[in-house]
Amino acid sequence: MIRLFDVTDKSYTTNGDIVLQPYKAVVRKEDNGDYYLDLELGIENAADITAGRIITANTPQGDQAFRVGNYEKTKSRVKLRANHVFYDAENYLIEDSYVVNKNCNDALDHLNNATEPTSPFTVLSDVGTVNSFRCVRKSLAEALKTVIERWGGHLVRDNWQIEVRASIGSDNGVVVRYAKNMKDISAEADWSDVVTKLLPVGKNGVLLPEVYVTSDKQYDIPFTRTVSFEQYDILEEDYQDQNGELDEAAYEQALIDDLRTQAQAYVDVNSYPRVNYTLSANLERITDVGDTVQVIDERLGISLMTNVIAFEFDCILEKYTLVEFGNFKQTLSGLMGEITATTEQIVAQQTDAVKVTLGEELQTATDKIMGVLGNSYVIYDGNQILVVDTLPKENANNVIRINAAGIGFSQTGINGVFNSAWTIDGTLDMQQINVINLTASLIKGGTLKLGSDNNASGLLELYDEENNLVGQMDKDGLKMFGTDGSYVLMNNTVGFAGYDRNDNQIYWVSADEFHMKKSVIEEEVIICSRVKIIPISVYSGGILINDGIGLVPWGSN
């Protein structure tokens, strides 16, 4: 169903302002690329279609929202192309925000919270790569492009939710074979940007000491090129001392390190030709971009396992009209290269801790569910529904019980203890919950555990209303930041200490003694409840003749 909503609407559970009856409604979606709706309507809807309004369309991923942009009105038709509401991210500016050594999920949160005006999106990622990014005067959409380039992953757009996933799609056993379900297929290989040996050039003409970066993939003929790289994140001001003097050696080394990283990433993804296939076929088991497809065409000598990189879906007929597959296109992410090579690169960059938390746990959960699909039984039992692992139900161990009170989970049979439950009032009572991202206005509990060997190094960050980091707690202790770059640190190594912007210790506690390098006292000092040091001024004839301090008994005025 195609529905029309107001410009500011963000909930699409109703029929909206109008249910449209279009002549044409085709959605095109590309991996890390275009996502839009082509629509043709009768002239009776001409007055309803105005710039900025929201049109929702049924897609294989559920109803999705598209914003009206340019449109054409003739005597009999209204034609328009509406981009997915994800592209609203182009209208939200990040003035200056620095992501330092964060995984992709934290990086997305950091950037999404730094926009002007406030971003309407929610963000999420399971990519464990740790990286940094200085975002200066870029839109949120531009920032997301850089995130995908540096952290890796695939963009998932679901109305106002933006995700970056390490992998997308599924393998549903789809086979495309000539003369069976294949209408037309074309293959295109582009070698124009292939490079296996690169001479990178950076800011101010900087070169690498080793000059070239090479690829592991080599061919019978060489592919040697030179490419200039932008280095907007490497700023001179970050390598100046408090007097404004530039540390030229440190600045140049930072440029070289960044140039080497960018060059190696460029070679890794451009050492393979772009190979794209376009297929006209009705593939009912395709679910989304990223899905695995086996393609067999004896005429062209094609027999390969590949992935969907784009599709066109007819929302009226509710079927695919075009599917493209091959190695991923150089679109939003600039990612290009063999699918397996890209996957291996992402996995290789993940830390061991992230592999534990995001790899093993997710895989274990998946294995548990997929492994028992053939050994689950659903029973309608009067006023409840039971899902059990064996029959009869009295012999079951693992049980899910659904009734008017909610959903309960037991590992001790239908008459055992249901120690995990989701009750009808919205209460989720679980002994263990593993989540990638949690957003909440209030969290109540007895113990909040961060870190340990399974969850790597725990980190608690505190921000002010302007999204400035004002405090953090991690394995190194509690640190509170001042606006001038100074900070207070408390841990079991230094105890309690204060530091200036250059990391010089300016006051500290040692055993039972308090030390400070400088002190300014405005009124008085009391020593051991015995003596008070106060300022004394002596006047004669209304003229100040002596100005100093005096010692008086404590308690006197």
Q: What is the CA radius of gyration of the chain?
A: 31
Measured CA to CA, the distance from residue 53 to residue 34 in angstroms comes to: 19
pLDDT of residue 106: 93
**230, 231, 209, 291: which is closest to 29 by C-alpha?**
291
Q: What is the mean pLDDT of the chain?
A: 81
Measured CA to CA, the distance from residue 289 to residue 291 in angstroms comes to: 6
Please name the residues in contact with 347: beta carbons below 8 A apart, sequence gap of 6 or more.
none
- Pair of tokens at residue 496: 């309690």
Averaged in consecutive runs of 10 residues, what is the pLDDT profile of the chain (557 residues)? 95 94 94 93 91 95 94 89 96 93 93 95 92 93 93 93 89 69 63 90 92 90 91 85 88 93 90 69 73 71 74 91 63 33 37 42 52 64 82 84 86 80 76 65 66 66 78 86 86 87 86 83 80 80 77 72
pLDDT of residue 85: 97
Q: Enumerate the β-bridge partners of residue 471.
A: 462, 480
Please name the residues in contact with 112: beta carbons below 8 A apart, sequence gap of 6 or more.
119, 121, 122, 123, 140, 162
Residue that the structure tokens 């209208």 belong to:
91
**181, 104, 119: which is closest to 150 by C-alpha?**
104
pLDDT of residue 278: 65
Strands (E), 404-522: 406-410, 420-423, 428-429, 459-463, 469-474, 477-481, 487-491, 495-499, 505-510, 513-516
Query: The whole model's pTM is what?
Result: 0.53
**286, 319, 454: which is closest to 25 by C-alpha?**
319
Please name the residues in contact with 231: beta carbons below 8 A apart, sequence gap of 6 or more.
202, 203, 255, 258, 259, 262
